[in-house]
Amino acid sequence: MRTTRISWVAVFSLVLVVGSCAWLQADDGRVDDALEVARAWLELVDQGEYDKSWEEAAAYFRNALDRNQWQQTMSGFRRPLGEVVSRERLEAKYRSHLAGAPDGEYVVIRFKTSFSNKVDALETITPMLDPDGSWRVSGYYIK
């Protein structure tokens, strides 16, 4: 009886571990997809293509501020930082709930970034899964 109980506990534990790994791999795929979109979007911002970055952002983003507001914000805040010298990913976390945002699928990505006019910055970019199934940027902040 004791051997049977230990066997069931071992099997149950193995199922939990395998199930957890499959879930993590699914999230890892989402994280990888979101990272690819985030990097491409950041390249637009780095090149000063603020209009195009607005067009490629999530509907949630575009509804929060119009194209002119985005261009003015980036021209006044991002442009003075200068060229990107380096950008290192610190973390990327999958989330289904974010404060102040509708429930959905998000990946919060943080980069340690050095600009020519600001050596130590923290960029946070948040791609979300849009209703059409595409990852698009829904938020971008620099500290």
Query: Which residue's structure tokens are 């002119």?
Result: 68
- pLDDT on residue 83: 96
Mean pLDDT of the chain: 84
- pLDDT on residue 1: 52
Q: Which CATH superfamily is domain 2-142 in?
A: NTF2-like; domain 1 (3.10.450.100)
> What is the maximum alpha-carbon separation in the chain?
72
Q: How far is CA 115 from the centre of its chain?
A: 20
How is residue 99 annotated by DSSP? T
> Over the stretch 107-127, which tens digit does the pLDDT of each residue have?
999 999 999 999 999 999 999
- pLDDT on residue 28: 67
Identify the helix (H) or strand (E) that includes residue 32.
helix 2-46
Strands, sheet with 84-95, edge to edge from the N-terminal-most edge strand: 84-95, 106-115, 118-129, 135-142
> Over the stretch 51-68, which tens digit does the pLDDT of each residue have?
999 999 999 999 999 999
Strand partners, 86: 114
Q: Which amino acid is present at 3?
A: T
Residue 25 reports pLDDT greater than 90: no
